[in-house]
Amino acid sequence: MKTQTLNVGLVGYGMAARTFHAPLIKAATGMELMAVVSSDPARVKADWPDVEVVDGLNDLLNERLIDLVVIATPNDLHFPMAKAALAAGKHVVIDKPITVSLSEARTLRVQADRSNLMLSVFHNRRWDSDFLTVRKLLDEGHLGRVVSFTSRFDRYRPLVTDRWRDRNKPGGGIWFDLGPHLLDQARELFGMPRAILLEQATSREGSEVDDDFVAMLDYEGLRVTLQASTLVAEPSPRFLIHGTNGSYSTYGLDPQEAMLKEGLMPSENWGEDPYPGHLTVNHGTVEQPELLVEEYPSLPGNYPAYYESIREALLLKGGQPAVTGEDGVDIMTLLEAGRDSYRQGRWVRVKEGNNNLRRVQAR
């Protein structure tokens, strides 16, 4: 690509687009939010008066100057819209998850590869403050060999809303909402698991979809537990990690989403989390442990890094962005394996290599 500015078209202007994509695109060096597809032009213009609003996807795809299309629509629209954008010669970013089925995800990856176009998925929570801190903690080896890793993303939302995520349609429910975040973080730290076991629940009165899940990922010598719920009022650890040399815990959620919802734009002190985690480490021996508890400072979160990686891949050094289409296929593999596990009531093995799934008997 020869242009020094990426002209971006954004499809949809719901919560994800308004809170995350539009502000982060506007804040990114070398990116220009050129147009938004929305049925509510007034809402877009209230936030971004200089951005053009168009009625439909075709209007956006027919705009020759658009380089990158960002799809932030309900999940079941990801596949047809991304397929059309790639066919029109546009690079594509899709809000997580990439699609609602593994076959669709693979189709998009192949289409992008054949067209020499970039395909990426918005797994922004790789740049959460707490996750960046956990990655640093594990890289430094403070806990020794990790044997247990628990990651929770809890909310207290007892009221069932009339939004698409709470409707019984493909891509609805909490497994497809928060599952991609937690699965992507686990995969980043430990790779693809050997198997997955998923339990889901519909806990709120009047709910049509799952609003609570517990997923267990099987690795050699390590058990990873991922949990999310809409009915947790008492704070629980965001991360709880145990190793041969100690433990680590941290509470609360990364502050960047709240900052963006308040209308703040990325700045010099962006994403700073004032609450440190707690590290309990054995300073004695195996025979005579001496456990000391200390604060472990949190690194600042960095959501802007996602679109910076897109810009670098397309304008500067070339190559792949931080999150690739292949990453999206891997997470869709786990989402679908988890869904199979819940339906069958047993572990489902994730076959290594080509990401095909092989069903096995309960272990």
351 to 79, 101, 341: CA distances (angstroms): 24, 17, 14
List of residues 6+ apart from 160 with CB closer than 8 A: 166, 204, 205, 206, 207, 208
Q: Which of 347, 3, 30, 42 is nearest to 195 (CA)?
A: 347
pLDDT tier at 319, thresholds 50, 70, 90 = confident
Mean pLDDT (whole number) for 221-238: 96
300 to 136, 207, 247, 257, 358: CA distances (angstroms): 12, 36, 21, 13, 40
The CATH H-level (homologous superfamily) assignment of domain 6-124+305-322 is: NAD(P)-binding Rossmann-like Domain (3.40.50.720)
Q: Which of 128, 127, 111 is nearest to 119 (CA)?
A: 111
Greatest extent of the chain over all pairs of C-alpha atoms, in Å: 70
Q: CATH for 125-301+335-344, among 3.40.920.10, 3.30.460.80, 2.70.150.10, 3.30.360.10?
A: 3.30.360.10
pLDDT one-digit tens code per residue, 257-287: 999 999 999 987 899 988 899 999 998 898 9
The boundaries of every CATH 3.30.360.10 domain in the chain are 125-301+335-344
pLDDT one-digit tens code per residue, 74-110: 999 999 999 999 999 999 999 999 999 999 999 999 9
Q: Is the pLDDT of residue 121 over 90?
A: yes
pLDDT tier at 167, thresholds 50, 70, 90 = confident
pLDDT the model gives residue 352: 54
pLDDT the model gives residue 109: 98
Q: Is the pLDDT of residue 354 over 80?
A: no
Strands 31-37 and 52-54 come out as: parallel
The boundaries of every CATH 3.40.50.720 domain in the chain are 6-124+305-322
